[in-house]
């Protein structure tokens, strides 16, 4: 029996239509007015918006970092994502130094097995090409298995950062494979000097984490990454762009016609250094992530860049830790695990502070959270409600009132970065490949039902 969603307003990135949506099996079968009702399960979407399920392209589930492991595994993390309206995540398989990409892929596939509640894909974070660059050939194998984007770190010199020469080699190979290069853009070497000087001066509180990682350090790395990508002929995607200085470098490259894309994250649009990290207590460790919180003056430029398309995606960089894990750095901000929880609240916050505030339209909301992620990262069956596409569908109630709180969230952390915030607009129902998995805030799907997505190599949709 098919499922017929009636009387809703269907919103795609390029259209808004009063229409019914018929789901047959795992796919959308038809979209149109007054579809026949015979032999279908009927769902009344009167007053609701029918939108594609969200795609969060930047998450860190069950990831080792800073002597501990992120608090959400593939069960709790993808369940929280679904409750928040996200039906696909792209997580990072992290190659450890001295090990291969194949080992990392196998480890992350095992992490997801039997746990993933929604569909997932993987980026490969490259940290070690081997003494004679022999690991570089593994990129071909990864692309053949649907891992078509590669993450490079320009920060964390003692663990994740690779030098410009290795970065350039990866970019050259990615260009040949039509793969996408994702960059954590911060000048790690310069930041480490500032960090050492900050600690030597006795400044150890969480507030100084943010002060030690300047916007200019991010902007310099953004410029350098784009320049190297231009030399290599590669398409580059800057992850978690956080400020107007970095945005200036991105826009300059785009104005020259370079293949440069970037995302920002929810926290950089609504949180600020002044309001969340004024330097008053260790409680501010809740907001230690990298890049750090920026001054509020950066909000308006980032929103404007989402409006004009300079920034193409809003993700979360969901990398959650509990308070006892954050306490590892109580005497030294460098030992605070970097990351925060946000996978459950991305759509709520972007709708409330974006659509309700008149900063973006509902169609732009779909573009930033679903359509562009699907296009850029090679998932053509998702990101749009249309015949033949996966039935990843949200019924969104624009009038729903919701209070964000750690007491009611599904994420496996004992705090929320948005504690007590009231938002208008929330998910009523979530379908993942035609299956109702969330109903009125409750996950009713089966853990492990999520499938691994074999992605196409399409160089960010710009090739």
CB neighbour list of residue 305: distance below 8 Å, 6 or more residues apart: 247, 251, 264, 311
* Closest to 432 in 3D by CA, of 90, 58, 54: 54
Q: What is the pLDDT at residue 27? A: 98
Cα–Cα distance measured from residue 420 to residue 406, given in angstroms and rounded to the nearest whole number: 9
Burial 8-23 (b: 16+ CB within 10 A, else e): bbbbbbeeeeebbbbb
**Distances in whole angstroms, Cα of residue 16 to Cα of each of 13, 320, 350, 364, 393:** 8, 35, 19, 11, 15
Return the sign of the alpha-carbon dihedral for residues 71, 75, 76, 77. positive
Q: What CATH number was assigned to the domain covering residues 53-382?
A: 3.20.20.140
Q: What is the pLDDT at residue 66? A: 82
- Please give the DSSP secondary-structure letter assigned to residue 329: G
Burial 395-412 (b: 16+ CB within 10 A, else e): bbbeebebebebeebbbb
The H or E element containing residue 443 is strand 442-443
Structure tokens at 248: 């200036």
Residues 91 and 59 sit within 8 Å (Cβ to Cβ): yes
Structure tokens at 284: 């501010």
- The per-residue pLDDT for range 327-341, each reduced to its tens digit, is 999 999 999 999 999
pLDDT at 131 over 90: yes
**What secondary structure does DSSP assign to 197-210, as a single string?**
HHHHTT--STHHHH
| Beta strands in 215-344, from DSSP E residues, in sequence order | 235-238, 260-265, 313-315
Q: What is the mean pLDDT of residues 434-453?
A: 98
pLDDT band, very low/low/confident/very high, at 1 (cuts 50, 70, 90): confident
- At the fourth CATH level, which superfamily is domain 2-51+383-411+419-443? Urease, subunit C, domain 1 (2.30.40.10)
Residues 58 and 265 sit within 8 Å (Cβ to Cβ): yes
- The per-residue pLDDT for range 181-231, each reduced to its tens digit, is 999 999 999 999 999 999 999 999 999 999 999 999 999 999 999 999 999
Q: Name the one residue in this structure whose structure tokens are 């509640």.
A: 117
Domain limits of the chain? 2-51+383-411+419-443, 53-382
**Distances in whole angstroms, Cα of residue 99 to Cα of each of 103, 107, 121:** 7, 11, 21
Q: Among residues of the chain, what percentage have pLDDT more than 70?
A: 100
Q: Among residues of the chain, what percentage have pLDDT more than 90?
A: 98
- The per-residue pLDDT for range 245-268, each reduced to its tens digit, is 999 999 999 999 999 999 999 999
pLDDT at 463 over 60: no
Structure tokens at 20: 């019914």
Q: Name the one residue in this structure whose structure tokens are 């705090």.
A: 415
């Amino acid at each position: 029996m098919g499922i017929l969603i009636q009387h809703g307003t269907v919103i795609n990135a390029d259209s808004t239509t009063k229409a019914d949506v018929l789901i047959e099996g795992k796919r959308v079968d038809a979209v149109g007015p007054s579809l026949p009702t015979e032999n279908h399960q009927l769902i009344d979407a009167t007053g609701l918006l029918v939108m594609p399920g969200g795609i969060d392209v930047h998450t860190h589930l069950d990831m080792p970092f800073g002597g501990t492991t992120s608090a959400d595994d593939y069960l709790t993390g993808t369940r929280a994502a679904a409750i928040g309206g996200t039906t696909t995540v792209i997580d990072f398989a992290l190659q450890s130094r001295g090990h291969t990409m194949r080992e990392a892929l196998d480890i992350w596939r095992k992490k997801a097995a039997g746990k993933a509640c929604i569909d997932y894909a993987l980026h490969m974070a490259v940290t070690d090409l081997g003494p004679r660059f022999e690991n570089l050939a593994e990129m071909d194998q990864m692309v053949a298995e649907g891992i078509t984007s590669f993450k490079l770190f320009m920060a964390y010199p003692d663990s994740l950062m690779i030098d410009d020469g290795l970065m350039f080699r990866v970019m050259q190979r990615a260009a040949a494979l039509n793969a996408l290069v994702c960059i954590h853009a911060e000048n790690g070497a310069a930041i480490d000097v500032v960090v050492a000087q900050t600690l030597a001066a006795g400044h150890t509180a969480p507030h100084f984490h943010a002060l030690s990682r300047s916007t200019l350090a991010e902007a310099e790395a953004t410029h350098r990454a784009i320049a190297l990508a231009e030399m290599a002929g590669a398409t580059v995607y800057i992850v978690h762009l956080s400020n107007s200085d970095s945005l200036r470098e991105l826009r300059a490259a785009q104005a020259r016609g370079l293949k440069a894309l970037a995302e920002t994250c929810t926290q950089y649009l609504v949180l600020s250094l002044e309001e969340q990290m004024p330097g008053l207590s260790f409680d501010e460790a809740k907001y230690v992530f990298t890049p750090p919180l920026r001054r509020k003056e950066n909000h308006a430029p980032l929103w404007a860049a989402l409006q004009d398309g300079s920034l193409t995606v809003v993700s979360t960089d969901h990398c959650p830790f509990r308070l006892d894990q954050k306490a590892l750095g109580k005497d030294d901000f460098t030992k605070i695990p970097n990351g925060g929880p946000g996978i459950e609240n991305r759509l709520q916050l972007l709708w409330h502070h974006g659509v309700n505030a008149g900063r973006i339209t509902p169609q732009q909301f779909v573009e930033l959270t679903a359509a562009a992620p699907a296009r850029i990262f090679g998932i053509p069956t998702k990101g749009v409600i249309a015949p033949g596409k996966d039935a990843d569908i949200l019924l969104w109630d624009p009038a729903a009132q919701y209070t964000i709180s750690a007491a009611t969230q599904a994420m496996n952390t004992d705090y929320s970065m948005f504690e007590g915030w009231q938002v208008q607009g929330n998910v009523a129902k979530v379908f993942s490949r035609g299956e109702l998995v969330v109903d009125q805030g409750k996950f009713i799907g089966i853990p492990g039902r999520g499938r691994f997505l074999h992605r196409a190599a399409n160089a960010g949709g710009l090739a």
